[in-house]
Amino acid sequence: MDKSILIVGGGTFGLSTAYHLAKAGYRSITVLEKGDTIPSPLSAGNDLNKIIRAEYESPDYAELALAAMEEWRSNPLFSPHFRQVGYLLGNSAAAPEKTRRTLAKSLASIETNPAFAGQITAINSRDDIGAVAPALDGPMEGWVGYFNRQAGYARASDALRAIHVAVKELGVHVILREAVVSLEYDKDRCTGAMTTSGSRYPADVVILTLGASVANVLPSIGRQITARSWVVAHVQLTPEEAAKLEGIPVTYSRDLGYFFEPDQKTGLLKVSPSGAGYINRGKDGISVPLEDNTRIPDEGQEAVRRILREHLPSLADRPLIKCKICWCADTADTDYVIDFVPGKQGLVVVTGDSGHAFKMLPVIGTWVKTLIESGQQTSARWKWKEGKENEEFGEVSWRVGKTKDLSDIHTVKLP
């Protein structure tokens, strides 16, 4: 409890870690964040909303997601930002075999779990869709899947703002506009970090929670982490249109992409296409995020419109606004990396979110606390993945298509 803790990166993993360590009684915790706000424009969690669901091929992650969901429902810090509107998951008629198999696996992962008893409805016809989501008026011909009531979404940016306030109240020092450039060492012991401003922050334990940017500060992790991004776009609705769609489930056509209930305050409806994502490979072959994330691939615009045509056609020709690409830290097996850095004492890395960790915001910090108190990672899946080359993805079952490098394709800046 007397150890000084330096958390580098005030995003989803970093703030959850600060929260749980501070709650447990750690008295000297500092968070360094490159952005000038929380959420930072660079954070993968800086988003209107994120899906909260417990469909996982791995029963371990399913149990963790259920524990997190319980916090989203019952913890007053998180519950104001959670909407249990359900999850309508399926495939359009044109879906490839791969996303059909993924859907079957998703269903299998929850249908035998007692937590979902009575919560799942099979969707085999257009009428079935109408029964659970009457406001979706797109053709959706031949769309099959299921509706899971035990899921929904979090208002992601709002939840990050709330946990930021909570950690400050618990005595954590959160320092914005401090970008770490390098780590400091005394022989093999990490003793702190230095920032672009030239300031030095000494600490007993340094925890890197840099998301997709982790290889910028810890290049040795670059072989196991690939920064990968997807398009996020929004459509502006009138208050009447937003009210008409209030309460719609998070709707995910595996082969096309997904969208959320419109935000009733702003009238924004968020849409994001699925796919294998975009990388930005630098000279050394390691993909790291771009500084400017406001240019999106041309094909991304078309993919967003295809989603709207299928589900909400009256919105399909609207201007797309607040468009960006959003980066996550991918591992080859999509397992997180939560471990001490081999050969470096006092240095912990918490990354590898692989695009599925926002839902864990309420609980991530408990895993980090266990790690630093036990001194070793006992979960094989979260260990430092030495030797696991993350060049190309083989069979990540929920992704279709081929990863593209942003430097090879045309991108455009939309309003």
Ligand X SMILES: Cc1cc2nc3c(=O)[nH]c(=O)nc-3n(C[C@H](O)[C@H](O)[C@H](O)COP(=O)(O)OP(=O)(O)OC[C@H]3O[C@@H](n4cnc5c(N)ncnc54)[C@H](O)[C@@H]3O)c2cc1C
Q: Are 372 and 203 in contact (CB under 8 A)?
A: no
Q: Which amino acid is at 342?
A: P
> Closest CB to ligand X among 213 and 377?
213
Which ranges of 117-155 does DSSP label H, i.e. alpha helix?
126-132
Question: Between residues 5 and 44, which has the closer beta carbon with respect to ligand X?
Answer: 44
Output the smallest distance, CB 6 to ligand X, in A.
Answer: 11
C-alpha 41/C-alpha 177 separation (Å) is: 12
In whole angstroms, the minimum distance from the beta carbon of 17 to ligand X comes to: 9
Report which residue type is found at 340.
F
- Nearest of 307, 299, 325, 156 to residue 231 by alpha carbon: 325
Residues that bind ligand X in the complex, under the rule CB under 6 A: 8-14, 32-35, 40, 42-45, 50-51, 179-180, 209-211, 213, 216-217, 230, 232, 272, 326-329, 351, 353, 355-359
- Separation in Å, CA 92 to CA 63, 100, 142, 298, 403: 29, 9, 6, 22, 22
Q: How far apart are CA 130 and CA 124, in angstroms?
A: 11
Task: Report which of 154, 174, 145, 129 is spatially closest to residue 38, judged by C-alpha positions.
Answer: 174
Rounded Cα distance between 361 and 167, Å, is 13
> In terms of CB distance, is 128 or 368 closer to ligand X?
368
| Cα pseudo-dihedral 74, 109, 131, 238, rounded to 10 | 60
Listing DSSP states for 51-92 in one string gives EE----SSHHHHHHHHHHHHHHHH-TTTGGGEE---EEEEE-
Tell me which residue has its CB nearest to ligand X.
11
Closer residue to ligand X (CB): 211 or 362: 211
The nearest distance, CB 22 to ligand X, in angstroms, is: 17
Nearer to ligand X, 135 or 179 (CB): 179
Q: In the complex, what is the shortest distance from the CB of residue 122 to ligand X, in angstroms, rounded to a whole number?
A: 23
Q: How far is the CB of 35 from ligand X (least distance, A)?
A: 4
Which is nearer to ligand X, 106 or 128 (by Cβ)?
Answer: 106
Between 346 and 365, CB nearer to ligand X: 365
> CB of 286: closest distance to ligand X in angstroms?
14
H or E stretch including 236? strand 226-236
Nearer to ligand X, 86 or 128 (CB): 86
Which residue type, as a one-letter code, is found at position 327?
W
Find the shortest distance in angstroms from Cβ 183 to ligand X.
11
DSSP classification of residue 121? E
Of 92 and 351, which has the nearer Cβ to ligand X? 351
- Give the DSSP letter string of 189-222: EEEEEEETTS-EEE-SEEEE--GGGHHHH-GGGT
Cβ contact 279:399 at 8 Å: no
